[in-house]
Structure 1
Amino acid sequence: MDINKEIKKLESVHLEKPERVFSMYLNTDPADPDQQGGEWKIQLKNGLNSFENYLKKDNDREEKRNFKKVKEKVERFVHENELKLKKSIVIFATPDDSIWFAEIFQIPVESNFYWEETAKVDQLKEIYHKFPKTGIILTQKEAIKTMDTELGILKDTQLYELDLETEDWRQHTGPHRAQVTMGAGGKSTKQDQFESRFEANRYRWYKSLASKLDKLSKDNQWQKIYIVGDKEEAKDLCDNMNKEVTKIVEKNMLEHEEMKVIAEVMAS
């Protein structure tokens, strides 16, 4: 999904009564002190009911039916995704289903509900400006992982591993990285030899991969790039890339779950 295109599509919508556009920003951040008891459920219920109560008083039956269609669809989406919630839900919807944008974000929002002629995209544009298309590059010696993200949403990952025989970086296609078998002392002789060789050749090896990462950045239109890893490894990779790196996060997280990595980067 291209969020920028979605925003432009939403901005082009203008409906007349009894048609309306529903816009919802709902804060579901469990780390928010105001959300410790799942208060977002009450906010959702109250937000939806307020429009329904208003339309009852207005006595516009057709608009009331239209809102009810949207309300049911919104409630269904939230119910089906309740266990997947992160920090926020953003929804835009129309009764005829010509507009249906429903996303769970790793980014907190201010809870607001609208039922108007146009989609209220200001807050979505604001968070997109802060968290646009972003590349996260994780380094850990002979393995480098890239994560293509947008608005905190993971779109794609790629893993490169160094072939020590050919000294070429190869894209890894298997389910897991190969692990070196450790001996009784904790490290194998093979691992000791590798670490010594790696330190001697790290800069040159990272330089040979940098052009691929630059191309990946260009192809994915990354507006920000974060390198996550050991300080010296990250610096070597950063120095060899032509694309500007936004920040280096000095943590080894290559083996961590992707959403944990994204959360760490967004908080940095």
Structure 2
Amino acid sequence: MSVRKDIRRINEKEDDLGVLTLYLNTDASNPDLNSGEWKIHLKNEIKEMKNYADNTAQEDEKKALKKLLKRIEDRVGELQMELQKGLMITASADEQLWEEKILQVPVTTTLHWEKIPATGQLQAMVQKYPKAAVIVLQQMDARFIETELGSIIDELTFSWDLNREDWLDYSSGASVGSRGSNQDHFERRFDENKNRWYKNLAPRLGKEIKDRGLEGAYLVGSNELVPDLEEHMHEGHLLGVLTKNIGMKPNHEIVNEIYQDLI
């Protein structure tokens, strides 16, 4: 289920006593957080909310709020070894709603106590980091990485088969012909024909974008390759282009570079 659908489902909840929503920035790449300072920020937010419970809330609200604060504090402790860049937890006093998301993108640390879930920041993150593809070109291979909020959902790899003169999808179980001792010949043929062969690939990538309901794709690769595919991609499908030869990096590092350089 996409995060957008999750948000719609969460927003259906209303509780007269209250719904507690936590956004916690745990991004260790942030110089202000690389020594675990997020724990102090969390304690400060919880302390402030407990002050509200003690000094302002009615007895039933006070009891429910303090119970939820304890549950959330305990849960963050359980999750701390799994945390990435951010965390969102929202929970209702009647215990019918408990939603948690470990996020690959940073958020602003805040704690909300309202009658409905505070999903505004999560919605803003989805707008900024939508469900999209990252297309990574490496000459005769093209990786299609489906992402949302920095998380990797799926991956396809298309590889050019010289004998069949067609792009084959590794994930479909197709057997891609060996390049072996003919590697130099293969690369020469590819360089001579890459524009035509990328023209053959572009509609397949466009179909994946459409069928998966993605908002578009970011294209990344060397400046010798990217223009040949870019000119054949549907203009409405391209969210951005990054001319960097980073195809040998792990998927999550590629996605992070896209976010850092293009968003």
Scaled by the length of structure 1, the TM-score of the pair is 0.85
Deviation at 1:140, TM superposition (A): 0.4
Residue 27 of structure 1 corresponds to 25
Residue 134 of structure 2 corresponds to 136
The one-character-per-residue Cα deviations of 1:68-121 (angstroms, maximum 9, x if unpaired) are 543344334423332332221122112444322211222222111012212122
Amino acid at match of 1:207: K
Residue 245 of structure 2 corresponds to 252
Give RMSD over aligned pairs: 2.7
Residue 239 of structure 1 corresponds to 231
- Unaligned 5+ segments in structure 1 are 182-187
Amino acid at match of 1:165: N
Residue 209 of structure 2 corresponds to 217
The one-character-per-residue Cα deviations of 1:132-153 (angstroms, maximum 9, x if unpaired) are 1111001101111111111222
The one-character-per-residue Cα deviations of 1:176-200 (angstroms, maximum 9, x if unpaired) are x99x89xxxxxx8522212111101
| Larger mean Cα displacement after TM superposition, 209-218 or 30-39 | 30-39
For the 8 Å contact 2:15–2:92, the answer to whether it is kept is no
The one-character-per-residue Cα deviations of 1:193-250 (angstroms, maximum 9, x if unpaired) are 1211110111122111211111111112222310111113121112112243122111
Residue 208 of structure 1 corresponds to 200
Rounded Cα–Cα distance in structure 1 between residues aligned with 2:76 and 2:2:
22
Residue 51 of structure 1 corresponds to 49
Rounded Cα–Cα distance in structure 2 between residues aligned with 1:77 and 1:136:
33
Rounded Cα–Cα distance in structure 1 between residues aligned with 2:209 and 2:141:
18
Rounded Cα–Cα distance in structure 2 between residues aligned with 1:69 and 1:174:
50
Q: Aligned runs of 1:158-169 on 2, under 5 Å?
A: 158-169=156-167
| Larger mean Cα displacement after TM superposition, 139-148 or 71-80 | 71-80
Deviation at 1:39, TM superposition (A): 1.0
Deviation at 1:67, TM superposition (A): 3.2
Rounded Cα–Cα distance in structure 1 between residues aligned with 2:95 and 2:199:
49
**Count of matched residue pairs:** 259
Rounded Cα–Cα distance in structure 2 between residues aligned with 1:241 and 1:59:
57
Q: What secondary structure does 1:266 align onto? A: helix
Q: Aligned runs of 1:33-112 on 2, under 5 Å?
A: 33-57=31-55, 60=58, 62-112=60-110
| Larger mean Cα displacement after TM superposition, 30-39 or 57-66 | 57-66
Rounded Cα–Cα distance in structure 1 between residues aligned with 2:4 and 2:115:
21
Cα separation, partners in 2 of 1:205 and 1:132, compared to 1, 3 Å: same
Deviation at 1:59, TM superposition (A): 7.3
Residue 13 of structure 2 corresponds to 13
Residue 124 of structure 2 corresponds to 126
Scaled by the length of structure 2, the TM-score of the pair is 0.87
Q: What secondary structure does 1:261 align onto? A: helix
Residue 4 of structure 1 corresponds to 4
- Unaligned 5+ segments in structure 2 are none
| Larger mean Cα displacement after TM superposition, 216-225 or 246-255 | 246-255
Cα separation, partners in 2 of 1:106 and 1:199, compared to 1, 3 Å: same
Rounded Cα–Cα distance in structure 2 between residues aligned with 1:255 and 1:66:
51
Rounded Cα–Cα distance in structure 2 between residues aligned with 1:159 and 1:100:
36
| Larger mean Cα displacement after TM superposition, 234-243 or 51-60 | 51-60
Cα separation, partners in 2 of 1:77 and 1:232, compared to 1, 3 Å: farther
